[in-house]
Amino acid sequence: MRSPRLAEPAHDDGRPRLRVVIATPLARELVELIARDERLDVVWEPELLTDPEIDWMTGPKQRTPEEQVRYEALLDSAEVLFGVPDQSGRALARTVAANPRLRWVHTIPAGGGQQVRAARLSPDALERVVFTTSAGVHATPLAEFAVLGVLAGAKRLPWLQGMQRAHRWGPREPLGLLGETTVLVVGLGRIGRLTASMLTGLGCHVVGVHRHEVEAEVERIVPVAELAAAASEADAVVLALPGTDETRGMLSAEVLARIKPGATVVNVGRGTTVDEPALVEALRDGRVGLAVLDVTAVEPLPDDSPLWDMPNVVLAPHTAAISPHEPRLIAELFAENARRFLAGDPLLNVVNTREFY
């Protein structure tokens, strides 16, 4: 875009101006989309970033020492960052400490609060810099993946695949009906609410689990303290939770001990919300009939994890949120927040810096 330079304090007409540094891979047309607002001084040096066609979760670009100096100099000149530097809490901490002009960082993942948490920023830094996430951009693909998981359980996908692998045509056995399926949706944020709406539209009986009452297309909402009792009556449990201290291990050994025999577990939130060894045991003894997981406790999933080879597990490599429209939607969200920032209006998706979601 433009050659690196310090942002001018204002246009000739006195309007405020912001220096925005693109700190993470982004295609030229999307940088140009952001730069349509002439009040933004958008700085983009793609040679310092990985190819935007490569998944940013694969890791940062390997830079020469000279390139790293250039990259950090850009970060340290920014008032606003599009993306956490190298998706690294350590790099974010360095930048916040080195750049007292930094005022706002937009994180790319919906769960970008965890990147902020990893930076271990001081209270003063958390007060000075506002952080936002791309929450909501991924709601539709994740909700569709959750529906896939519920359908796979109701229609006995592991049994069908086992028959196919064994070259067995029959016996003919009944499959479940969605109209007779009760689904527990744990976490009624945007992803959970959309999942509940889709499942309700398919005829499922949907029960929500949430910390407080919210508007959602569910038959009822039960408090988190009643999760185990609710799970004992559900044919499927969908987890759509952020990764926080409060949600860590929420699908616990105690909950799994009471889960309805043969139930399906779907996770489109964060892997840390599941007691993974307890889930493996429940899959082995049949208490859980199928687990459909977009996320795991450790990612990438270690080679020695039993989840790889279990016939009643479907794994997605944290890819269920991705759609062809994801980068554009994130850029549009950032552009809207930039407009709000300049107008002094509340930003969308501000990170809660107590619970980091």
What is the pLDDT at residue 58? 59
Please say if 276 is a catalytic residue: no
Residue 171 preceded by cis peptide, ω within 30: yes
Q: Count Cβ neighbours within 10 Å for each residue of 66-90 and write b for 16 or more, e otherwise.
A: eeeebbbebbbbbbbbbbbbbbbbe
Task: Give 41's strand partners.
Answer: 19
What is the pLDDT at residue 16? 66
Place 8 in a pLDDT band, splitting at 50, 70 and 90: very low
Please say if 8 is a catalytic residue: no
Please say if 106 is a catalytic residue: no
Please tell me which residue in 219, 226, 299, 336 is annotated as part of the active site.
299
CB count in 10 Å sphere of residue 319: 12
Please tell me which residue in 106, 190, 193, 270 is annotated as part of the active site.
270
Task: Give 265's strand partners.
Answer: 237, 291
Structure confidence by residue, pLDDT tens digits, 165-187 = 999 998 999 999 999 999 999 99
Q: Which domains does the chain have, with CATH numbers?
A: 18-137+324-343 (3.40.50.720), 139-315 (3.40.50.720)
Question: In this structure, what token pair is assigned to residue 81?
Answer: 């960052």
Structure confidence by residue, pLDDT tens digits, 30-72 = 999 999 999 999 999 999 999 887 765 556 789 999 999 999 9
- pTM for the predicted model, two decimal places: 0.89
User: 10 pLDDT exceeds 90?
Assistant: no
Structure confidence by residue, pLDDT tens digits, 86-142 = 999 999 999 999 999 999 999 999 889 999 999 999 999 999 999 999 999 999 999
What is the pLDDT at residue 11? 46
Structure confidence by residue, pLDDT tens digits, 298-347 = 999 999 999 999 999 999 999 999 999 999 999 999 999 999 999 999 99
What is the pLDDT at residue 52? 81
What is the pLDDT at residue 17? 86
pLDDT, the chain, mean: 93
Structure confidence by residue, pLDDT tens digits, 210-266 = 999 899 999 999 999 999 999 999 999 999 999 999 999 999 999 999 999 999 999
